[in-house]
Amino acid sequence: MSDTIPNDAPLQSVESNNFIETIIEADNKSGRWDSRVHTRFPPEPNGYLHIGHAKSICLNMGLARKYGGKFNLRFDDTNPTTEDTEYVDSIQADARWLGADWEDRLFFASDYFEQMYVYAEDLVNKGLAYVDDQNGEEIRENRGTVKTPGVNSPFRDRSVEENLDLLRRMRAGEFPDGAKVLRAKIDMAAPNMLLRDPLIYRIRHAHHHRTGDQWCIYPMYDWAHGTEDSLEGITHSVCTLEFEVHRPLYDWFLDKLEVYHPQQIEFARLNLTYTLMSKRKLLKLVQDGHVSGWDDPRMPTLSGLRRRGYTASAIRGFCDRIGVARRDSVVDVQLLEHCLREEMNLTARRVMAVLDPLKVVITNYPEGQVENIECQNNPENEADGTRMVPFSRELWIERDDFLEDPPRKFFRLGPGREVRLKHAYYVTCDEAVKDDDGNIVELRCTYDPDSRGGSTPDGRRVKGTLQWVSVTHGVDAEVRLYDHLFSDPNPGDAEDVTTVLNPDSLVVKTGCKLEPELGAAKPGDSFQFMRHGYFSADSEDSTPERPVFNRTVSLKDSWAKIQQKD
Ligand code: ATP
Ligand code: MG
């Protein structure tokens, strides 16, 4: 992978504090957590990580790094039916790729199932939890609405003994799914609906990818999450804003259990234009075959972005740039693209590729002659040196670099017009050869032998510079041009996201011609194809015999333009 930024590079800007850093620094000053900082990233292993998760990882990991603290990776694997070890593996690989380091602190909620159960008995013993025999529908109905209070369950006043007995029998597997639940006894009239006797355990006779058939009761999110944080000694439990309404419950559980109690802090989740950020909806796209998989280069997943050619450092830079706030907003996806371009501009070799080839024959160039032309690899990085590219009598140029009847402002080739071939010679077009149907199949040109390197003794100037590839030396390749997966800037708003899929999100070009060195590109190697954009060799399909390149981004930096105007 062409990611050259070391993994210990800062994940968060050290320049100005975000609001969470302000909280941490105040805590460190007051000695609230004995000056410890301990964060975590708690994904549910029910899908691949996406760019939104990257924000959360960079934030949590960055805080630990900035304050010399610790960072845990914890799988919130409390829902056996949607989770899978495939996701457990991919999440670790992607988080590591991004630069996260949890050292030896890889945890699973399922490791705490026994302790969580002990805590649940504790709540029962304290008279703060009860077994409810109502079914799901009754529970929902009796919860009330935002305007009306809920109704107490007829089972709410069971004795501690009866509750304990029933809970143990739930655990022992005596009851079928849905027959009973364990609920916290809080307040059925609480204005915050989440406090109306929330569920703690439900019965689910399901096989778990780690605990097998050991359990048939599984903890609910709110119960599990706080106890996990507590058991791991987390100090600042950072989560997204939608959990703000859950905080009173997080606090209630830990207060009533009288255990170590981290502080939950909410921040605004990342939303990106033209991008879907829900694992559930992304899974559906995969299952229904709208994309080739979780790592389809159009997916906002880390594996998709990586395959597309994004580097971990560009994604980290993006997460740093967008910052951390408490107000929801939508970030323009062009900023993400801009961050990639900015990096690639400094690191990517400029190479020549012709995506829609038209043959040029230089009639006054000796047959069989080959010159090796020295080409600068990257004007932004002198140290990257030069490479030799073969030039010969027959070349490919881009088909749309020739017009039979060019308008005045068209500075490329036309009958009688002269252009510069990048790094090589001036050529003038003498004739366009057509087939029987009138299609142009070849241009016949003459070159000026004194113009090598791009200037002439008479100081004659030309405006157009074209890239080219030698016909006998060029490499055939497939090039995949990507656009946004969705045509709607807010695909998440659509009832059915398949109605806003962009039909042109992938254009496959075969028979493209690349300069010879690109035949040796390794998966993930990135280049600037001059005048076309940044491209990366596909990690799945590219071979030396048949290179396949993905366009990561085009060269047009609309974001930079927007910034200039402001
Ligand atoms: P999704 O809605 O995509 O399924 P999720 O929140 O259910 O996401 P989790 O696996 O529960 O996914 O998320 C792990 C962590 O990543 C959580 O702390 C969550 O807050 C955070 N996270 C998820 N999506 C985003 C996002 N778009 N921006 C920032 N953080 C996010
Ligand atoms: Mg979730």
Could you give the domains of the chain? 124-221 (3.90.800.10), 269-350+480-510+530-566 (1.10.1160.10), 353-467 (2.40.240.10)
From 237, 239, 240, 324, the mutation candidate for ligand 1 (largest count of ligand atoms within 8 A of CB) is 240
Q: What's the pLDDT band for 557 if we cut at 50, 70, 90?
A: confident
Q: What's the pLDDT band for 559 if we cut at 50, 70, 90?
A: confident
Ligand 1: nearest atom to the Cα of 243: 20
**Cα distance between residue 443 and residue 428, in whole Å:** 10
Q: CA-CA distances (angstroms) from residue 265 to 60, 101, 219, 419? A: 11, 22, 22, 61
Q: Does residue 278's CB lie within 6 angstroms of at least one atom of ligand 1?
A: yes
- Residues 46-100: pLDDT tens digits? 999 999 999 999 999 999 999 999 999 999 999 998 888 999 999 999 999 999 9
Q: Does residue 99's CB lie within 6 angstroms of at least one atom of ligand 1?
A: no
Backbone angles phi, psi at 35, to 5 degrees: 60, 20
Instruction: Note the pLDDT of residue 563.
Output: 66
Instruction: Tell whether the model's pLDDT for residue 312 goes beyond 70.
Output: yes
515 included as an active-site residue? no
CA of 52 to the centre of ligand 1 (A): 7
Q: CA-CA distances (angstroms) from residue 51 to 70, 316, 336, 516, 536? A: 22, 10, 10, 35, 19
Q: Does residue 55's CB lie within 6 angstroms of at least one atom of ligand 1?
A: yes
Backbone angles phi, psi at 137, to 5 degrees: -65, -45
CA of 375 to the centre of ligand 1 (A): 46
Residue of 70, 183, 279, 412 marked catalytic: 279
Instruction: Note the pLDDT of residue 562.
Output: 67
Instruction: Tell whether the model's pLDDT for residue 513 goes beyond 50.
Output: yes
- Residues 140-176: pLDDT tens digits? 999 999 999 999 999 999 999 999 999 999 999 999 9
Backbone angles phi, psi at 545, to 5 degrees: -75, -35
Instruction: Note the pLDDT of residue 454.
Output: 80
Taking residues 434-446, report their average pLDDT.
Answer: 97
Instruction: Note the pLDDT of residue 6.
Output: 43
- Residues 235-245: pLDDT tens digits? 999 999 999 99
Q: Does residue 239's CB lie within 6 angstroms of at least one atom of ligand 1?
A: yes
Query: What type of residue is 264?
Result: Q
User: Among residues of the chain, what percentage have pLDDT more than 90?
Assistant: 92
CA of 44 to the centre of ligand 2 (A): 6
Q: What's the pLDDT band for 564 if we cut at 50, 70, 90?
A: low
44 included as an active-site residue? yes
Instruction: Tell whether the model's pLDDT for residue 138 goes beyond 60.
Output: yes
Q: Does residue 44's CB lie within 6 angstroms of at least one atom of ligand 1?
A: yes
Closest listed residue to residue 362, CA positions, set 413, 438, 304 = 413
With a threshold of 0.75, does the pTM exceed it? yes
Residue of 156, 210, 269, 444 marked catalytic: 269
CA of 472 to the centre of ligand 1 (A): 51
CA of 556 to the centre of ligand 2 (A): 36
269 included as an active-site residue? yes
Ligand 1: nearest atom to the Cα of 43: 10
Q: CA-CA distances (angstroms) from residue 284 to 53, 278, 281, 294, 433? A: 18, 10, 5, 10, 51
Residue of 32, 36, 44, 105 marked catalytic: 44
Q: What is the mean pLDDT of the chain?
A: 95
239: tokens are 């989560």
Q: Does residue 42's CB lie within 6 angstroms of at least one atom of ligand 1?
A: yes
Taking residues 293-315, report their average pLDDT.
Answer: 98
